[in-house]
């Protein structure tokens, strides 16, 4: 073991070159004594009750008995008063994931945490719980990060700049479901964390490039079929995560119909999933089975916004309702009062494709790397598309102006406007 007491004696008789060598050796010695963390690939996850709970996920490289130490105080090295152990272990693609499900948290509150095990302690992170009731906040959405790491990393950095309450990620995180791909993705996800250690929770959906166990293994989803709902506030916003890689109807369809019916009183309803109903890229298949299973449910229960991925293009539609009447196309017709707005289709780092299949009800389309930024208030919801390639010199959003675009970021401005207003649709309870 390196003897730290020898350092002053050596320094007294050493030139600068030797001093630098000693400091290097000291740094190495510190790394072997547990000063540096033996945990990495951190992520926060929301699968339920975001006002009072959160799941902390990480990869365990070494050490025993890891615990999450957390609390509201952040006074330097002040000890965090609460702690929680590991609720679930997952080994998938030779990656050791650990999950601690924190409950009993205060709503709309900033928490700090570290992960400490027998050998080490992580850096200090923070997160914010969701507010109770109607409130104003933003969230980010998109998908298809796949294999262009530079583009993926820039999109992740956008998240750290706009500091949304959470991220809806619609699948195809990786190109191949293997160890190397997931290590790269999890490493790159750390760029969503701010320089101050503030982390953003993810709500994850499965794409066609993920294996059957990937999302459940890395994001602790409620069950292996990867469809679930997360509610924000009391009747304010409900987010549906759907799995377009399994039967859209069947058990998933029954669950969706029941949950929508039970939560008709929510002011805002959002769904995100991987495959678009009607792709805006000509090489992609039309999802007729998905249309049959979900389109009428979306309309009946007043879904406000659907976020789609997969095609590697950018699109936004006018509000749409399912219809076969004159003036419709591919089962949809524009309805500004009762329709659902569809945005997407996934450009978070995957290879870009041509937007060559617009419809009569397409509002705008394009082909560029982007992050959707959705802002929600008690009165309105609106969406923007941030150009991910503009992030290099961007500043960070201010807490006092959460919807104001940070300096340096660019918003897509097509002919029909940079902001897409999402119509409110209140559906009375059927009970």
Question: DSSP E strands: which ranges in 202-255?
Answer: 202-204, 228-232, 237-241
Q: Is 358 exposed, middle or buried (0-12, 13-18, 19+ CB in 10 A)?
A: middle
Q: Tell me if the pTM is above 0.85.
A: yes
pLDDT higher than threshold 90 for residue 22: no
When pLDDT is averaged across residues 187-192 and rounded to a whole number, the result is: 98
pLDDT higher than threshold 60 for residue 7: no
Within 10 angstroms of residue 179's Cβ, the number of other Cβ atoms is 12
Dihedral of alpha carbons 252, 222, 230, 258, sign: positive
pLDDT tens sequence across 88-134: 999 999 999 999 999 999 999 999 999 999 999 999 999 999 999 89
Q: Which domains does the chain have, with CATH numbers?
A: 39-128 (2.60.40.380), 137-422 (3.60.21.10)
Most confident of 9-23, 33-47, 69-83, 182-196: 182-196
pLDDT tens sequence across 128-157: 999 998 999 999 999 999 989 999 999 999
pLDDT higher than threshold 60 for residue 8: no
């Amino acid at each position: 073991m390196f003897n730290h007491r020898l350092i002053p004696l050596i320094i007294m008789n050493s030139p600068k070159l030797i001093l630098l060598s000693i400091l290097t050796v000291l740094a190495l010695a510190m790394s072997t004594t547990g000063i540096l963390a033996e945990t990495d690939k951190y992520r926060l996850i929301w699968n339920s009750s975001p006002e009072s709970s959160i799941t902390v996920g990480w990869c365990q490289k070494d050490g025993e008995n890891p615990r999450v130490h957390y609390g509201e105080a952040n006074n330097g090295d002040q000890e965090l008063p609460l702690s929680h152990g590991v609720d679930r272990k997952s080994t998938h693609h030779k990656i050791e994931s650990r999950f601690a499900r924190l409950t009993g948290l205060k709503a709309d509150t900033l928490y700090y945490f570290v992960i400490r095990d027998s050998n080490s302690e992580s850096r200090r992170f923070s997160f914010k719980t969701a507010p109770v009731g109607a409130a104003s906040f933003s969230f980010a959405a998109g998908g298809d990060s796949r294999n262009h790491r530079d583009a993926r990393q820039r999109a992740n950095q956008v998240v750290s700049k706009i500091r949304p309450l959470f991220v809806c990620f619609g699948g195809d995180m990786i190109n191949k479901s293997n160890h190397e791909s997931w290590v790269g993705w999890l490493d790159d996800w750390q760029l969503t964390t701010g320089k101050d250690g503030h982390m953003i929770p993810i709500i994850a959906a499965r794409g066609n490039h993920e294996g059957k166990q990937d999302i459940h293994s890395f994001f602790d989803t409620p069950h292996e079929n990867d469809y679930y709902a997360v509610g924000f506030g009391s009747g304010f916003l409900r987010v549906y995560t759907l799995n377009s890689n399994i039967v859209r109807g069947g058990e998933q369809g029954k669950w969706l119909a029941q949950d929508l019916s039970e939560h008709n009183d929510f002011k805002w309803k959002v769904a995100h999933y991987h495959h678009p109903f009607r792709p805006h890229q000509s090489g992609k298949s039309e999802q007729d089975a998905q249309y049959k299973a979900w389109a009428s449910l979306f309309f009946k229960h007043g879904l406000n916004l659907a976020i789609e991925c997969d095609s590697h293009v950018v699109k936004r539609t006018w509000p749409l309702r399912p219809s076969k009447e004159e003036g419709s196309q591919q089962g949809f017709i524009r309805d500004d009062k009762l329709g659902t707005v569809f945005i997407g289709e996934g450009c978070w780092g995957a290879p870009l494709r041509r937007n060559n299949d617009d419809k009569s009800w397409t509002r705008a389309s394009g082909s560029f790397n982007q992050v959707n930024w959705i802002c929600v208030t008690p009165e309105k919801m609106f969406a923007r598309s941030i150009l991910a390639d503009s992030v290099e010199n961007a500043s960070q959003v201010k807490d006092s102006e959460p919807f104001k675009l940070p300096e340096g970021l660019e918003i897509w401005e097509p002919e029909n406007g940079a902001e897409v207003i999402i119509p409110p649709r209140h559906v009375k309870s059927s009970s």
